[in-house]
Structure 1
Amino acid sequence: MPRLAHIALLVADYDKALAYYVCRLGFTLVEDTPQPEAGKRWVTICPPHAPVDATTILLACAAKPDQARAIGDQAGGRVFLFLATDDFTRDHAAFTEAGVEWVRPPSIHEYGIVAVFRDLYGNLWDLVEYDHPR
């Protein structure tokens, strides 16, 4: 059965992106393989404790001007990625302590609790715990 294997996230610099997602957000580095013939690297990350076959984020360094213009705005200003958690309070506190920029504070909805943060490039992410009791 088909499944989503990777989602490409345009970045300006592999190492700065890794410092943010791995060191600040606690993501796991899955692979970082140089591709010298193409002048790039195959860099994938995933949220901490993700299953082995989970969809990964491919950090794709922009190689052309039109790609560079899309860094931080791959979703046209909308929330681009949704990071689900089993403990919103724990992860919101950890991200806040790590200096994550929150653009919308936590709010409770029928589906759960959510807050929106901006990553180092400007992409908007939801941190969401689904089915949070009211």
Structure 2
Amino acid sequence: MSDFATERRVATVTLVVADYDEAIRWYVDRAGFTLTSDLDLGGGKRWVTVEPQNGGGARLLLAKADGAGQAASIGNQTGGRVAFFLETDDFARDHAAMLARGVEFREAPRHEPYGTVAVFADLHGNLWDLIEPKR
């Protein structure tokens, strides 16, 4: 028998950004996410979360960099590796919509044993996979 609860999930992941409003605009207007919270915490800090439309997967906490150390990680939170994976049930539809909204894809779509995928960069250069997993 486990000592852990039977239902657990990764619910929120922090993404360090340069500016709250700029990040909100990019994720909502270009990547097609939904703003789920924007709460003033005082002292210039906010609790800002976005998530994919239809609420699937983890939320992103858009956290404004606080200090030089955090600012240095903006756009390179995983040392240049793909950091995030945005799954879709229709790669062609979402790829076309994101291109039309100005999302920068770093490669042409490719077919892998695990699904159809293409790497894109967010507003700060963090790398993402748009992926339609093989069913």
1:35 to 18, 38, 41: 41
Unaligned runs of 5+ in 1: none
What does residue range 85-124 of structure 1 map to in structure 2 within 5 Å? 85-124=88-127
Counterpart of 1:129 in structure 2 is 132
In the TM superposition, residue 40 of structure 1 has moved relative to its aligned partner by: 0.3
Query: For 1:62-119, what per-residue CA distance to the aligned partner results, in whole angstroms no more than 9, with x for missing partners?
Result: 0110000000000100000000000000000000101111112100011110000011
Q: How many Å separate the matches in 1 of 2:26 and 2:44?
A: 22
> Helix, strand or coil for the counterpart of 2:117?
strand
Superposition RMSD in Å: 1.1
Q: Normalising by structure 2, report the TM-score.
A: 0.92
Matching residue's letter, 1:24 = R
Counterpart of 1:79 in structure 2 is 82
Q: How many Å separate the matches in 2 of 1:33 and 1:131?
A: 38
Runs of at least 4 residues of structure 1 off by over 3 A? none
Identity across aligned pairs (percent)?
A: 52
Counterpart of 1:60 in structure 2 is 63
* Length, aligned pairs only: 129
Counterpart of 1:45 in structure 2 is 50
Unaligned runs of 5+ in 2: 1-6
Counterpart of 2:3 in structure 1 is none
Matching residue's letter, 1:48 = Q
> Helix, strand or coil for the counterpart of 2:16?
strand
In the TM superposition, residue 2 of structure 1 has moved relative to its aligned partner by: 2.8
